[in-house]
Structure 1
Amino acid sequence: MKSQRFARGKAAWCIACVMLITSFGPILGIGAAEANAPGTTEKPVVSVFQQRRTLYEEMELLTSVPWYWLAAVDQYERTITPRKEQQQQVQQVQRVTGFRFKEAFWSGPLNPDPEDRNPATIELFGGVGKDATADGAADPTNDRDALYTLASYLTSFGYTEDDFRIALWRYYQHDAAVERIRQFAKMYKHWGKLDLSDSAFPLPLRSSYTYRDTWGDRRGWGGLRIHEGTDIFAPMGVTVRSVCYGIVETKGWNPYGGWRIGIRDIQNRYHYYAHLQGYEKGIEVGHFVEPGQTIGWVGSSGYGPPGTSGKFPPHLHYGIYRDTGSTEWAFDPYPLLKKWEQAERSKKNKRATK
């Protein structure tokens, strides 16, 4: 209780500062970050990651909710929102964040006007919408209003990680959603940055390997099924690498995949590596991995009880799955593999010519 009163006191003390940041951000080089350098006429280029980070830190200053938790919820919403809808939102209101409360939560479940923007009537009907910019409207399409409301909702349950998880479960009513957001928060906190988009091909380019698009091919062992991935054939013991920044979600034996490992990335994609010969020392569930980091070696394990090996030529089965918020489905990884392979080869060639 003492820590909560302190946090609320801190929020009250900081609100004037945040309002000044909101109003004069361009002048101070904060928020929109549009101020020009002395003696220049061109506006500095500010990435969307920088803009988001600034907003998250403004809200952290105001509410004491760590920026990486706000970033995690925002990113989760972005990953479960269809791309077409994301593009429409950006075109209509030029947002840099992706979070938007459900109408019933924002305006109140009993509010006769689901698009109510009046903070007073929203509160009267039990809604959560807040006005963070003092313009008289609690607008869910306004970045600061949306993030401040999110932080206020989280802290209404308390200030610990467990409190945040309870709040998120009450909102999403889905254990997987809460776990994804927790994973994202841990990744953002660990690396201290928002841009975790770098990638790598799963095998070293200097190694001997071959692959083609095997998506949808028939498989017979264990029952008739289709092939949900791409097989990359290589000699036994070739290094297998993480293709992304991510967190290890699963590790161990699978009758179909043998020694396998699963990694969740910040785009809410699950990367599945199967038929391994073994694992790199220190790779455990909950650990963080980076693009190009060794996670194991090519093998021929699987199609039987633990330890079964040699029923097929050594290769890496690589699959990728996307979480939509309600279900997880596989998609063809071959185009991504080609893209990552070409991108890494291009980087190597550029370095070689310097």
Structure 2
Amino acid sequence: MKKIIPWILFFFLFFSFEGVHAKELSQEEIYRKRMDLYKKTEALTSIPWYYLAAIDQFERSIRDVRKDLPDPPAIIGYYVPPEQWAGPLNPNPKDTNPFTIALFGGIGKDGNGDGKIDQTNGEDLLYTLAQYLRAYGVDDQSFRLALWDYYKRDQTVRSIMTNAKIYRTFGQVDLSEKAFPLPKGYNYTYKNTWGDRRGWGGRRIHEGTDIFAGYGTPVRAVAYGVVELKGWNKYGGWRVGIRDLNNTYHYYAHLNGFSKDLKIGDVVKPGDVIGSVGSSGYGPPGTAGKFPPHLHFGMYKDNGIREWSFDPFPHLKMWERSSNKNQ
């Protein structure tokens, strides 16, 4: 009997463990369920799905990097503090009763008609968000005003408008593809130079990775995003800035020039050519040749409060491996 018990325990734990994994969703299933919820809420409220998706994705991106916010669940990332959801004077912050939530001035709404207002329910969350937006209107100007009144921060409004523009352009939420900034077939070399000292223009650190390549080597967008900046900077020369769906700003500097017709506000996808490698910078507009030709690639993260640079080298290595594998 003693020999049988350990085997019974083993099979119980094994099948329980397998059962847990069987319930986990693939990334494809998560995207599909997310889109289903956006579309259902759009049908109920007439709020365009890409507005809902834009806010939801922004909230998910900041929850991933903020310690003062709970980690986002798998499907819907939109977050409302319990005191706002249930009401500031509600003694029960986890209240799900529509009557008492309304009595205490909570903003939570019942989105699926089950008689409960559940802050962990994706339908209730998106319906509550949609009702807030509905009071403003369903065009971009109204949406922008609603965002400002809610977040009170210009960069947050721009980031969410970026998300909405990308989702509306491509008509889907599965937009996680990435690309290495230089295409295959060109010679290049790089190492981790983030944090190195720089002396021109004053002592500072290097906020990026330098990818050395020949003049004119095409430079590509690494992610789905919107062109937020284009022009000259005395440090970076001709440069482009693109913000993606994860509220990450990609900075491409020392360019030889820009792609024809590229302009601020353009939507790009991974692999789109945005310019070419050069040696511009370290002086007034037109200065070039003060250093070997290379692409300075930087990444900056915004968490809804502030923005900071981080090391892009691990991401470049990952995108490079993926590019080689898919060739």
Smaller-chain TM-score bracket: 0.7 to 0.9
1:73 maps to amino acid: I
Q: Which residue of 1 aligns with 2:35?
A: 53
SS of residue paired to 1:247: strand
- Answer yes or no: is 1:143 the counterpart of 2:125: no
* Equivalent residue, structure 1, for 2:63: 81
Q: Which has the higher contact order (CA 8 A, sep 6+)?
A: 2
Q: Residues 245, 97 of structure 1: CA spacing in aligned structure 2 closer, same or farther, 3 A cutoff? A: same
Q: Give a deviation string over 1:107-142, Cα, whole Å, max 9, x none.
A: 233434433322122222322101122332211111
For residues 271-315 of structure 1, what are the alpha-carbon distances to aligned partners after superposition, in whole Å with 9 as ceiling and x for unaligned?
000000100001100001111111111110001111111111111
Structure 2: distance between partners of 1:111 and 1:87: 21
Q: Which residue number in structure 2 is paired with residue 103 of structure 1?
A: 82
Q: Is the 8 A contact 2:60 2:72 kept in 1?
A: no
- Within the candidate set 102, 108, 118, 1:123 is matched to 102
**C-alpha separation in 1, matches of 2:319 and 2:310:** 16
Contact 1:100 1:141 in 2 (8 A): no
Change (3 A) 1:309 1:83: closer
Residue 53 of structure 2: aligned partner: 71
TM-score (norm 1): 0.81
Structure-2 separation of matches of 1:259 and 1:151: 41
Select 2:277's aligned residue among 298, 302, 318.
298
Quote the offset at 1:190 in angstroms. Answer: 0.2
Who is 2:239 aligned against? Answer: 260
Distance 2:72 2:296 in 1: 37
Distance 1:84 1:321 in 2: 15
Count of residue correspondences: 302
Find the aligned partners of 1:325 and 1:88 in 2 and give their Cα distance. Answer: 15
Taking the TM superposition and a 5 Å limit, the aligned residue runs for 1:299-338 are 299-338=278-317
In structure 1, what is the equivalent of residue 161 of structure 2? 182
1:26 corresponds in structure 2 to none
For 1:99 and 1:280, the matched residues in 2 are separated by: 36
Q: In the alignment, what sits opposite 2:229?
A: 250
Percent of matched pairs sharing the same residue: 55
Q: Which runs of 5+ in 2 are unaligned?
A: 1-24
- 1:136-215 equivalence runs, <5 A: 136-215=115-194
Gaps spanning 5+ residues in structure 1: where?
1-43, 349-354
TM-score normalised over the length of structure 2? 0.88
Distance (whole Å) between structure 1 residues aligned to residue 144 and residue 86 of structure 2:
23
Structure 2 CA distance for aligned equivalents of residues 161 and 117 of structure 1: 33
